[in-house]
Every structure is written in structure tokens, then in C-alpha cells.
Structure 1
């Protein structure tokens, strides 16, 4: 996964079957950029990035067609970045549950539920 090779051409967005049907979906370019921040924080707040992409219209909306990675002219592989985000979020969710919060929503989940 070499997300730093992204030249922001937008081909991944055009190839993604979800971005064409769901305007709320963040899309592979944005999620790839988020994955890069999580992988290499460089002083940025990783938790806020993970909270932002942990949504139905975030990394969980990707249907894993990998079309975004197939069309990338630089081999940036945004699909791998999306999978990395899902992995990081899954680890966070499991850690939350293992810390004794079984059956309880994480604070961010409570905020989202209240906002809907």
C-alpha cells in the first residue's frame, strides 16, 4: 500500500461503484487519505480521523470491488487503505468491549444515535 503515491487524479472515485450511487459516501480518495493519516499520523489526531470514517457512509460503505485500486495509475491502492481503516476500527471496537464496556455503546456511537 503506497498511499503517498496518490496524485489525486480522481480515477478511483470514477471507478468506484458506490460513489456513483451514493453521494454521501466519502469515497476511495478521501478514505485513502484518511488511511494515510492513520498509518503516518505526523502529529495529527488519529482518533478523530477514525471517528470520522467510522460511519455507514465512511469505510463501512465500501463494497470491496477493488475497482479503485485497479484503475490507479500510480498503484496507490486505496482499497488496501480502506481495509486498513476497517482493521484499525475493528481493533478499537474490540478494545472498547474488552475494557468492560460490553453491551454499552462507545461515546461516539451515542453521539451519532442522538444526532439521527
Structure 2
């Protein structure tokens, strides 16, 4: 079973995830989030005048089946995909995760959703 099974409910994520230690703030942006705006709206409650600066827990899932990026990592919040780790960082992050977490438990970290204002 792959990441889609976990996201869409065929496989339940374990209650406890391997938490990445906090770094020096929120150090990179997620990419591809335009594709997942409906999910971000559901998580945040829709668009608003002032936008959002919402801290959440994000989970990572390896996308071993991505022909364009064999090191692809999808970002999931509240069980919904919201974007991807940037390609130029995903291989490095994946190696670090596997070194610290060879059992390949679900991985999570603190994250921040910024945006969602009316334009």
C-alpha cells in the first residue's frame, strides 16, 4: 500500500508519527499548493480578509511512484494533500528522514499555512 492508501483511508496512519525536530523557524515553502486550494480552504475555513498564519502539524509521505521525481515527498495536513516538498530539497530531506527513521514510520513536523486572503 502506498501514500494514496494512507490519505484515502485504505490504510490508517499510526496514531504516533516520527516528529522531525524543530529547526530555525519555517525554512522552506511547499510547492504545487495551487492544485490543492480546496483542501487548504477546508483546513483553514475558507478565504478571509486578513488571511491565515495558522500553525499545524504536517505529515510527509514518500511518493515512490512519481516518474518525474523519484524522491518526491507529498505534504499532508488533516489527511488531505496540500503540496510537495520542493524537488531541489526532497532527495536531501528523504535521506535525512530515512537515516533518522529507518523503520519508515509516518513523519510529521510543525508547519505554517500562510495566505488565504481575498484578492
* TM-score scaled by length of structure 1: 0.30
Higher relative contact order (CA 8 A, sep 6+): 2
Whichever structure has more strand as a proportion of its residues is 2
Higher helix proportion: 1
Normalized against structure 2, the TM-score is what?
Answer: 0.29
